[in-house]
Amino acid sequence: MAEPIRTGDDYIESLRNRNLTVFLMGEKVAEPVDHPVIRPSINALAATYDLAVDQPDLAAADSSIVDAPVNRFLHVTESADDVVAQNKMQRKLGQLTGTCFQRCVGMDAINSTFSVTFDIDAEHGTAYHQRFTTWLAEMQRMNFVIGGAMTDPKGDRSKAPSEQADPDMYVRVTERRGDGIVIRGAKAHQTGAINSHWFIVMPTIRLGEADRDYAVTCAVPVEAPGLTYIYGRQSCDTRILDGGEIDAGNALYSGQEAMIILDDVFVPWEHVFMDGEFEFAATLVERFTSYHRRSYVCKSGVGDVLIGAAALAAEYNGVETASHIKDKLVEMNHLNETIYGGGIAASHESFQTDAGNWENDALLANVCKHNVTRFPYELGRLAQDLAGGLMVTMPSQQDFEHPEAGPILEKYLQGRSDVSTEDRMRVLRLIENMTLGRNAVGYLTESLHGAGSPQAQRILIGRQSDMNKKKSLAKKLAGIGE
Ligand code: SF4
Ligand code: FE
């Protein structure tokens, strides 16, 4: 039996020599692990392993599936406390990395697939749940990274999957054989795709009878034949190639999104967890997004870093005691804790599913994610306000190191005399990185569109608000008869 992965370093080694087909900027990447643009995203995932070693209370949990402690990202929740603990771990990792550490997608995918397979079996007499649990036990034992692949390219948004001009716009089953199925299509902007060991393919929208072939959930190893990955660019990602590390802003960590092309990929039956049960596609999407929308408390951890950076920038400028500066920092904390409050409350309000695991409250989860689509932008605005314009006009690390230009910059870009110009530059570059640069991808645009764009949450908030109950409360107090 292969040795399980334990530390961040073990994890990084486990990604080597996989012979993946990965394109980045028009070139095939020979070894993603050693690619300087990709490596910071791998480091962010490695932090999820090291945290489980350093703080097992926070990032590990006892799994009754394998009867042993497992990484919390692979744990099926066994209590409401387990759901709450996920959020605490996510905030911590946001604080440690300042970006998207990519592993929550898999955590939310396994928890939703766990209960949906149970429900399908109850309705159809299938055996998906046992299959799924057997596969998951191996993932837990090996401590693998699981990705969740939900978002299809979608083509013409006004048409169902089976009505598209090109039938491959949503992932579908193209062949059923004695030993398994063959699937084709693509999944767009998949978080941590090539940093995973396996991913779970899931449907992305409500499906009808005609879409039966699109109702497929299955597990696929990242190195399966027929897979191609096209790496997504991130703003300022090539700063890391310029030499030095100051201009990168956060030279250690970044997120990762890639497009996955599935060109007739074979999946053996033991890894198929839904095939044709179209009426459960919407259930799976709703459960997954409910978990994932409150997972976005990760951004409150990233917000902690940004607030700290804004406070440091003010301090280095010598303005930290001005009342409007203090007030802006209070405002930033208020917004950030509001994000956290919605998510952690959703987790505390968890209920037990028929399959036995625990699921967070959907209304509060959608409120959390909806706040995440707005507040990081306001937090970013306030951080830029406190940083000042130098954040975007500052010369490069190379200029600071130049024998002629360097001393000039040192002299004129000094803030408070007891703070080094370099430290001032470093903190401004971090704010730039998080609000305009590479990690603004994770902090801003991923906050807006990840786990569903704002309108998706508004639909669910509308659906889950129980307006009839609210109206009858009002009628009762106003003395209006039913
Ligand atoms: Fe986790 Fe947040 Fe990244 Fe989603 S955006 S995978 S919740 S860190
Ligand atoms: Fe995401």
- In this structure, which residue's CA is closest to atom 6 in ligand 1? 102
If pLDDT is split at 50, 70 and 90, which confidence band does 227 have?
very high
For residue 252, pLDDT over 70 is answered with yes
Structure tokens at 208: 């009808």
Among the listed residues 313, 361, 339, 295, the one whose alpha carbon sits nearest the alpha carbon of residue 102: 295
The tens digit of pLDDT for each residue in 18-77 reads: 999 999 999 999 999 999 999 999 999 999 999 999 999 999 999 999 999 999 999 999
Domain assignments of the chain as residue spans, ordered by start:
9-281, 292-465
The tens digit of pLDDT for each residue in 281-293 reads: 999 999 999 999 9
Structure tokens at 28: 């095939």
Mean pLDDT of the chain: 97
Range 361-390 average pLDDT: 98
The letter for the amino acid at 196 is S
Percent of all residues in the chain with a pLDDT value above 70, rounded to a whole number = 100
Q: Cα(419)–Cα(143) distance, rounded to whole angstroms?
A: 44
CA of 108 to the centre of ligand 2 (A): 10
The tens digit of pLDDT for each residue in 398-450 reads: 999 999 999 999 999 999 999 999 999 999 999 999 999 999 999 999 999 99
Q: What is the pTM of this model?
A: 0.96
Question: Rounded to an integer, what is the distance from CA 201 to the centroid of its chain?
Answer: 16
For residue 2, pLDDT over 90 is answered with no
The reported pLDDT for the residue numbered 482 is 77
Cβ of 419: how many Cβ atoms within 10 Å? 16
3-class secondary structure, 325: helix
The letter for the amino acid at 127 is A
The tens digit of pLDDT for each residue in 340-357 reads: 999 999 999 999 999 999
Q: Cα(336)–Cα(347) distance, rounded to whole angstroms?
A: 17
Q: Cα(454)–Cα(443) distance, rounded to whole angstroms?
A: 15
Ligand nearest to the CA of 104: 1
Q: Which ligand 1 atom is the nearest neighbour of the CA of 103?
A: 6
CA of 295 to the centre of ligand 1 (A): 7
The reported pLDDT for the residue numbered 1 is 61
Which CATH number applies to 292-465: 3.90.950.10, 3.30.360.10, 1.20.140.10, 3.10.20.740?
1.20.140.10
Active site residues: 100, 104, 191, 257, 292, 296, 298, 446
CATH of domain 9-281: 2.40.110.10
For residue 279, pLDDT over 90 is answered with yes
CB under 8 Å to 427, separation ≥6 — which residues?
309, 312, 313, 316
* Ligand 1 pocket test, candidate residues 86, 111, 191, most atoms within 8 A of CB: 191
Range 383-399 average pLDDT: 97
**Contact (Cβ atoms closer than 8 angstroms) between residue 155 and residue 64:** no
For residue 193, pLDDT over 70 is answered with yes
If pLDDT is split at 50, 70 and 90, which confidence band does 328 have?
very high
Ligand nearest to the CA of 441: 1
